[in-house]
Amino acid sequence: MSRDITFVHLTDLHIGDPATDDHLFSDTATTLREILAQVATITPKPSFIVASGDLSNRGDAESYVRLREIMETIDLPVIYAIGNHDTREGFYEGMGIDTDAPDAPFYHDRIVEGVYVITLDSSTPNYIGGTIEEGQFAWLADTLDTHPELPKLIVTHHPPALGDGPDLAHLLPDMRCLAS
């Protein structure tokens, strides 16, 4: 007998401190705590949470520490992807992930409750739009061939580009990032 797998998808959390961030107009940490309290009441219990980018509003390590502390309050695995408001360096440091390359894309895979979750990093430092770097495509091709018996869930922050031209947002610098 198979059971249905459910998960919660959260995106654009923008964790930060509204007292010091003039681009943050609400207490996003409190909002996230309220959302997780509601998630905890879902029956049947979801199998995992996907948090798919713009985890932080400024990309500072402190906001990821705060995010990690909040997410540890719920008894569910969390799959993270990063987006254009995130910084790779801040994410690695604040989430306590050891790396020799703090500017490297954050992509990974994991099996959760029989679902093969594959996460790509579509962030392009200092730009609003996103792309997937060439090395990730090779990794993705190899990864998709593993665990053929499992359903796949691919997670990324930015939507895939359609058409022949680049996403216009990828051509425009994120002035918020450049002003930081």
142 CB contacts (<8 Å, ≥6 apart)?
Answer: none
Burial of 65 (0-12, 13-18, 19+ CB in 10 A): middle
- Give the pLDDT confidence score for residue 167 in this predicted structure: 58
**Total-model pTM:** 0.88
Per-residue model confidence as pLDDT tens for the chain (180 residues): 356 899 999 999 999 998 888 888 899 999 999 999 999 999 999 999 999 999 999 999 999 999 999 999 999 999 999 999 999 999 999 999 999 999 999 999 999 999 999 999 999 888 888 888 889 999 999 999 999 999 999 999 988 766 666 555 555 555 455 444
DSSP tag of 25: -
Other C-beta atoms lying within 10 Å of the C-beta of residue 88: 19
